[in-house]
Structure 1
Amino acid sequence: MSVFFVTFSIFLLVIGGMAIGYIVQRKTISGSCGGLGPLGIERICNCPEPCDARKKREARAARAEEWKRNQIL
């Protein structure tokens, strides 16, 4: 049972150290490979033409962003 407590304590120390390092550096969490950009894929689906639902979603987001920009000015 003492081996379990020692191992558990070591894991807690490592996780705590990682958490403190993350808080101190204030860096965003990112994947180790850098995402799909290095592979030449700009979008998740990599479709030549987005579907209608995505076009509507993007248009709605653009309108909302434009509205926000106009409210600030």
Structure 2
Amino acid sequence: MSVFLVTFSIFLLVIAGMAVGYIFQRKSISGSCGGLGPLGIEKVCNCPEPCDARKKREARAARAEEWKKNQIL
């Protein structure tokens, strides 16, 4: 049981250290390889056209961005 507690404590310390580093650096978490861009893959799926849910999401984001621009002016 003591091995479990020591291992659990170490994991908690590592996770807490990562959280503190993330909070202070204000950087997004990213992979070391740079994503799919270096492989020549532009998007995650091979769909020729995005699905309806994604189109709605993108339209909503565009409206929000336009609204922000209008609020600044």
Task: Give TM-score scaled by structure 1 length.
Answer: 0.61
Match of 2:43 in 1: 43
Structure 2 alignment gaps of length 5 or more: none
Structure 1 unaligned runs (5+)? none
* Deviant stretches of 4+, over 6 Å: none
Amino acid in the other structure paired with 1:16: A
**Percent identity, aligned pairs only?**
77
CA deviations on 1:39-60 (whole Å, 9 max, x unpaired) are 112223356x536858x65567
CA-based RMSD: 2.9
Which residue of structure 1 lines up, in the alignment, with residue 10 of structure 2? 10
Q: 1:9 to 1:37 in 2, by over 3 A?
A: same
C-alpha distance 52-5 of structure 1, shift in aligned 2 (>3 A)? closer
Distance (Å, rounded) in 1 between the aligned partners of 2:51 and 2:19:
42
CA, structure 1 residues 35+6, in 2 after alignment: closer, same or farther (shift >3 Å)? same
Q: Which amino acid aligns with 2:26?
A: R
TM superposition score normalised by structure 2:
0.61
Structure ID, larger Rg: 1
